[in-house]
Amino acid sequence: MRCVCPTAALRRQTPCMLSERYELYFAVVFFCFQQFLKLLKSMTSCSVVPKPPVRRVAIFGGTHGNELSGIFLVKYWQENGAEIQRAGMEVKPFITNPRAVEKCTRYIDCDLNRVFDPDNLGQTVVEDIPYEVRRAQEINHIFGPKGSDDAYDLIFDLHNTTANMGGTLILENSRDDFTIQMCHYIKNALAPERVPVLLIEHPNLKYATTRSVAKHPVGVEVGPQPQGVVRADILDKMRKIVKHGLDFVHLFNEGKEFPPCTIEVYKIMEKVDYPRNKNDEVIAIIHPNLQDQDWQPLNNGDPLFLTLDGEVIAYKGDCTAYPTFINEAAYYEKKQAFVKTIKMELTAGHIRSSAVGQNTS
């Protein structure tokens, strides 16, 4: 038998024969690719994660009594609730710190947004217990108990900031597919307007927020707005965020599936204090180049602070950071000039309401 060299045989093929072979080859590849896409789609549809329906929603305003956008909106919705109601769910607007609201001050005895931890929620009620601790226990009784199956499904907690943060969403759990999907929906609904997402999940920085009573806590932080002041544009921005959030919940409860999504978030890394002297007094202020630059990249050598002698104190860091809550008025007492974050992505799985399957079974 004579052995034929494959290369020589290929050279003897006519251009027409080669063209036909290539066409057949690409047809087979394209067919296989189509089958792969069909398989991938079927696998994706099979991996839908059923989530419990969200039936009880609260909207908190007045957690801090001098942040007026949420207070104005909640009081309006308590009298005119049609705007926030959606079929198949209860939406309860609620003033969380009425004494602070009455005095237009951040708090009476202590920060209500930092006392929803087991020690304070379980503290024995005595005559001299701080007002906000007592109030936290009342809120936990109404909307919780925190961490239980009886807790409210979702709480929007409305806040203002003096920092130039725009309309920011605050997440507490990087593994909560429902709230990640909600953020994705709100961001798309408000595009091209920017809606940053701040992730406050951290092993050492514990916030114990008012909204953490719910299974799905979502903070809404809108600024810049001075304390004790209402700006129409800031209130409107907050109102739109809540509207689209409620729309998402309604669609979810009605059976709409939300395919896997990815969102960009800013994860908190540390709180940065002002430079201080030996008497613990602030000796430098936010540099003009940093002021109002929330969410903008901060690189090694960029100016942070400026002393009254004109000395520039620069940022020293190995990687790019993204500061926020820059020069927040309420955080002077907390010894916080800004929060340093890094940019990352969160991915949520394909979700739908588990009630859909129950209704159609």
- As annotated, the active-site residues are 221
Return d(Cα 257, Cα 49) in angstroms, integer: 10
Contacts of 50 (CB under 8 A, 6+ apart): 351, 352, 353, 354, 356, 357
Q: What tokens were used for 316? A: 């020293």
End-to-end CA distance of the chain: 69
The residue among 94, 87, 92, 93 whose CA lies nearest residue 53 is: 87
Q: Of all helices (H) and strands (E), which one includes residue 313?
A: strand 312-314
**Max Cα distance, the chain (Å):** 107
Please state whether the peptide bond connecting residue 192 to the residue before it is cis, i.e. omega within 30 degrees of 0.
yes
Count of residues in the chain? 361
